[in-house]
Amino acid sequence: MEQQVFGGEHHSGRPARPVWHAIWNGFCGKCPKCGEGKLFSSFVKVVPACAHCGEEMHHHRADDLPAYLVVVIVGHVVLGAFMGVEAASTLSTWQHLAIWAPLTVIMAVGLLQPVKGAVVGLQWALYMHGFSGADDTLETHPEL
């Protein structure tokens, strides 16, 4: 099966990496490069390097993006489901709390690691934040 990429060649002249494959590998908690090694050493701590292929991971910059994405995903799912249930039933406030509060926490915790892995996979595929082999240094711009 042919791997999907955003283009045949990266803008820097390097070959394009398979974006969706890398995102999927990261989402599954595997190395975005080889798909064999583990991506996480603990719940959301990324391994310094892949034990299988040696790809360095320590320089990723997922930061807060995974948490923001999880909030957006869980918020839309829970709010939509809540509104649907509220329109179709007459549950009390306590019944709603007993359903939606645990569901929100479970979904958020359950999605955090896969979403972080997908973000790291995207960064790898797009040669971002050290995955290009070059240091991430801030460019200085002359004053105008």
What is the reported pTM?
0.79
Query: Could you tell me the pLDDT band of residue 120, with boundaries at 50, 70 and 90?
Result: very high
Mean pLDDT of 55-67: 87
Detail the DSSP E strand segments found in 18-104: none
The domain locations on the chain are 19-125
What's the 3-state SS for 1-41? CCCCCCCCECCCCCECCCHHHHHHHHHCCECCCCCCCECEC
Query: Could you tell me the pLDDT band of residue 133, with boundaries at 50, 70 and 90?
Result: low
Higher pLDDT, 26 or 18: 26
Nearest residue to 23 via CA among 123, 110, 112, 111:
123
Q: What is the mean pLDDT of the chain?
A: 85
Query: Could you tell me the pLDDT band of residue 75, with boundaries at 50, 70 and 90?
Result: very high
